[in-house]
Chain A
Amino acid sequence: MSENGRRDYQGSKIGMWLFLFTELMLFGGLFILYSGYRSLHPESFHHASRELNVVLGVANTLVLLTSSLFAALALTSVQQGRHSDGAKWAWLTAGLGGVFLVVKAFEWGAKFSHGIYPGGKALLALPPGEGLFYGLYFTMTGLHGLHVLAGVVLLSVMALLVGKGRVHQGDCVVLENSGLYWHLVDVIWIFLLPLFYLAA
């Protein structure tokens, strides 16, 4: 039990973990839809999945995994009192998040230019199962992309705060929580990659 009024490190982390549970459930609803429709249309999911660019998907996975490493390094540096290193790693994490989004934008753009977007002519001409695949693809990677965007903003703010000395060795729970969030975003992508890119 904590004393009231003092900063409660453990409490902040409990709060963050609860928030991460809600994120899991948020995506969980979409994973339920995915499993339902995939079992209804296994053939279509197979065909549609082949159209996605596996190379870019895997490249983006590596980008995110590396960024997670950087997020962990940022926290460790700050915990060890190496604040300028901490700020540097946090900036790099945010930067890799940006790279992920740019790659994602190119992927979406390529699909859009072929008329593959919700309501697009080429998409409507496909069998219903493939339409559902892309409906879920855009929804899930879109929602994930929004989370990456939020993470980029969050980690940039963290980098600034570490740089200014507002987050430091003695008080870095916000950085730790931001790192937890970033790892969650990473973990969700690790499920999205096989379900969409490697389903063929």
Chain B
Amino acid sequence: MSYLDRQGEGGLYSWVTSTDHKRIGLLYLTVMTVLFWVAVALGIVMRLKHLSGGDFLISARAYNALFTVHGVIMVFMFVIPGLPAVFGNFFLPILIGAKDVSFPRLNLLSWWLFLTGACLAVLSLFTGSGAPDTGWTFYVPFSIRTGTNVSLAVFAAFVLGLSSILTGLNFITTIHRMRCEGMTWHRMPLFAWAIYSTGWIQVLATPIIGITLLLVILERAFGIGVFDPAKGGDPLLYQHLFWIYSHPAVYIMIVPAMGAVTEIIPTFARRCIFGYKAIAYSSLAIAALGSVVWAHHMFTSGMADLANIIFSLLTFLVAIPSAIKVFNWTATLYKGSVDMQPSMLYALTFVFLFSIGGLSGVMQGALGLNVHLHDTYWIVGHFHYVMFGGTGFAFFAALLYWFPKMFGKQYDPKPAYAAWALMFLGFNMLYGSFMALGYMGMPRRYFAHLPQFHSLHIAATVGSWALVAGLAVFYANLLIALRRGKPAEADPWGGKTLEWTLPSPPPPENFDKLPVVTEAPYHYNPKAPA
């Protein structure tokens, strides 16, 4: 009997009231997949609009709403919670040899808060006086003056933040308290390390955006004046508070993705991970350093020169722990017997695309260049390379890697390869064009574009079609496997971590008898230190 079909507990009600971490993981996956496709659809409409430089298809006002809602959904409901909420929930307890998280009921509450926040965000589109049009950053003073439904959207983000905090709190406690016998800190799989680092960012950074968003609501409702220049408020302080959270949030998005890739690469290279401790501690280093670079989003906002220089320097430093990981992944592949299964292909694509995204980020951190690139399509291209090329591809890699374990079904690898080809081609056409456009001077969030940008805009739009076609193939393949896939083995990839010792799908309580761990994870080469 597996967790999917506990006796007499198959109905929808039993799912939405389940405190089983695996079921909660699937609840997140379901809601998130729907939201993801909604946001993809909004993105596609934006791209279609740019088939023409002028008025076309939608109004300028609708365009503002589209990029706002696309950003809000993708950032707050897919990329930030994506890997921790789905795979963290499902696999963290299993990877450390536990039967569940520390606070299972709190875990369920987190999901309900997530669902509530998602519903409020969607509701903000159709109620009040029009969909929010501020961009996902809700910058003041515009966000406190616009007549659109900003308050509800901001409150939705607040509720989603609360959900994220509770998830992080739960995971940190779980890792401290629930590791099985012999599972020392340095025997933990690196995905667990990544979730641990992420948890700290969630707990410490998210409350700052919470209070900032509440202040926007208070400002709109009562006019308290703290962000209103007419009353002496300073909009720059809003930007500081916003990015004090939202830059570390970038690492909430990417660190678990790195963790998942770190699980996949040793499995398919059949080698022990190179530099275990370096990878583990670089996650913590990213969490720490990433908390002090926020103002690089504000180099053109009129800060003091000294502050600009310091934040620029810190920004360069944060590249180091990320680079440590990239070098260690590469070193793991060296002399490995690489089995290019779909999930390995997606994981290596992550490394490639993330490197482009990360290095372009270092370029932007340079003060002189930043003035030229700020608020252009370059920035849009850069963060899509990190968020989609990075976190998105890692999410797909993790889904392909753990799908047989989660559902007990095996998928056909061929469509997954085809989907990869379409997505990789489309992705680079789309966001590569964006970077070129931005470098030439195309500002972001503009409804219209000048003739000299037209051909690249067309290329980007055509790329978006290939990308969406790839996404469709990817998801269709997995849906077909859900219905008609062959039963999966317990360990289809030859993995060495604890989840592969369980049947696919796992039983309700994971382990009948709690495991006792005696060696390091990824124990492929006998000579590797235990």
Report if B178 contacts A (CB, 8 A).
yes
The 8 Å CB contact of B231, one of A33, A36, A135, is A135
Which A133-184 residues have a C-beta within 8 angstroms of B?
135-136, 138-139, 143
Q: Is the CB of B241 within 8 A of A29?
A: yes
B contact residues around A11 at 8 Å (CB): 102, 173, 176-178
Q: Which of B173, B179, B206, B241 contacts A33 (CB 8 A)?
A: B241
Q: Mark B97-116, 1 if CB is under 8 A from A, else 0.
A: 01110110010000000000
Q: Check if A22 is an interface residue, CB within 8 A of chain B.
A: yes
Asked if residues A132 and B173 are in contact (CB atoms below 8 Å), the reply is no
User: What residue in chain A is nearest B514 (Cβ atoms)?
Assistant: A4
A118 to chain B, nearest CB (A): 4
Bound: A4/B180 CA distance, A: 9
Contact A22 B204 (CB under 8 A): yes
* A13-59 interface with B by 8 A CB criterion: 14-15, 18-19, 21-30, 32-33, 36-37, 40-41
Q: Does any Cβ of A come within 8 Å of B212's Cβ?
A: yes
* Contact A2 to B210, CB < 8 A, known contacts A18-B173, A22-B204: no
**How many cross-chain pairs have Cβ atoms below 8 Å apart between A and B?**
119
| B215 interfacial contact with A, CB 8 Å | yes
CA gap between A138 and B180 in the complex, in Å: 49
Which residues of B72-125 are within 8 A (CB) of A? 98-100, 102-103, 106
Within 8 Å CB of B106, what residues of A? 15
Q: Is the CB of A22 within 8 A of B233?
A: no
Contacts of A24 in B (CB 8 A): 207
Residue in B204, B208, B226, B514 whose Cβ sees the most chain A Cβ within 10 Å: B226
B203-262 with Cβ < 8 A to chain A: 203-208, 210-212, 214-215, 218, 222-226, 231-234, 237, 240-241, 244
A135 engages B102 (CB within 8 Å): no
Chain A residues in 8 Å Cβ range of B177:
1-2, 8, 10-11, 14
- B166 closest partner in A (C-beta): A19
When the two chains form the complex, which single residue of B99, B211, B233, B514 contacts A29, counting CB atoms closer than 8 Å? Answer: B211
A135–B170 touching, CB < 8 Å: no
Which B residues are in CB contact (< 8 Å) with A127?
Answer: 232
Q: When the two chains form their complex, are residues B218 and A14 in contact, meaning their CB atoms are under 8 A apart?
A: no
**B181 contacts the other chain (Cβ, under 8 Å)?**
yes
A128: CB under 8 A from chain B?
Answer: yes
Identify the closest chain B residue to A4 (Cβ). Answer: B99
Please report the C-alpha to C-alpha distance between residue A40 and residue B170 in the assembled complex, in whole angstroms.
40
Min Cβ gap B117→A in Å is 17
Give the residues in chain A near B102, CB-CB below 8 Å: 8, 11, 15
Q: Are A25 and B169 in contact (CB under 8 A)?
A: no
Bound complex: CA of A136 vs CA of B226, how far in Å?
A: 7
Instruction: Count chain A CB atoms within 10 A of each CB in B165, B170, B207 and give the residue with the most.
Output: B207
A33 to chain B, nearest CB (A): 6
Query: Which among B176, B180, B183, B223 is the interface contact of A118 at CB below 8 angstroms?
Result: B223
Q: Is the CB of A36 within 8 A of B223?
A: no
Q: Please tell me the number of chain A residues within 8 Å of chain B, measured between CB atoms.
A: 41
Q: Is the CB of A22 within 8 A of B234?
A: no
Contact of B178 among A4, A21, A27, A41 (CB under 8 A): A4
Contact indicator A32/B165 (Cβ below 8 Å): no
A interface footprint on B471-515 (CB within 8 Å = 1, 0 otherwise): 000000000000000000000000000000000000000000010
* Min C-beta distance of A181 to chain B, whole Å: 14
B421 → chain A closest CB, angstroms: 44
Contact A118 B173, CB 8 Å, known A25-B207, A32-B240, A139-B218: no
Contacting residues of chain A (91-134) with chain B, CB-CB under 8 angstroms = 118-119, 124, 127-129, 131-132
CB 8 Å contact bits of B258-297 with A (1 = contact, 0 = none): 0000000000000000000000000000000000000000
Complex alpha-carbon distance, A63 and B55, angstroms = 64
Interface string of B148-179 (1 = CB under 8 A from A): 00000000000000000100111011001111
Contact: A33 with B180, CB < 8 Å? no
Chain B residues whose CB sits within 8 angstroms of the CB of A37 once the complex forms = 226, 232, 234, 237
Would you call A135 and B208 a contact (CB within 8 A)?
A: no
* Measured CA separation A11–B179 after assembly (Å): 12
**Chain A residue contacts of B211, Cβ below 8 A:** 26-27, 29-30, 143
A159–B226 alpha-carbon span in the complex (Å): 39
A41-B233 Cα distance, complex, nearest whole Å: 11
Tell me which of A2, A25, A36 has the highest count of chain B C-beta atoms within 10 A of its own C-beta: A25
Q: How far is the CA of A124 from the CA of B511 in the complex (A)?
A: 65
- Known pairs A15-B169, A19-B169, A128-B232; A135 contacts B224 (CB<8 A): yes
Set of chain A residues within 8 Å of B224, measured between Cβ atoms:
118, 135-136, 138-139
Knowing A8-B102, A118-B222, A118-B223 are in contact, say whether A132-B176 is a contact too (CB < 8 A). Answer: no
Q: Supply 21 A–B pairs (Cβ within 8 Å), ascending by A.
A: A1-B181, A4-B178, A11-B102, A11-B173, A15-B102, A15-B103, A22-B203, A22-B207, A26-B208, A26-B210, A26-B211, A29-B207, A30-B211, A32-B240, A33-B215, A33-B226, A118-B225, A119-B222, A129-B232, A131-B231, A135-B225
Other CB < 8 Å A-B pairs besides A22-B203, A132-B232, 13 of them?
A4-B99, A5-B99, A18-B172, A24-B207, A25-B204, A28-B207, A29-B208, A30-B211, A37-B234, A40-B234, A118-B223, A118-B224, A135-B225
Q: Which 5 pairs show the lowest CB-CB distances between chains A and B?
A: A128-B232, A25-B207, A135-B224, A29-B211, A11-B177
B residues near A, CB below 8 A? 98-100, 102-103, 106, 165, 168-170, 172-173, 176-181, 183, 203-208, 210-212, 214-215, 218, 222-226, 231-234, 237, 240-241, 244, 514
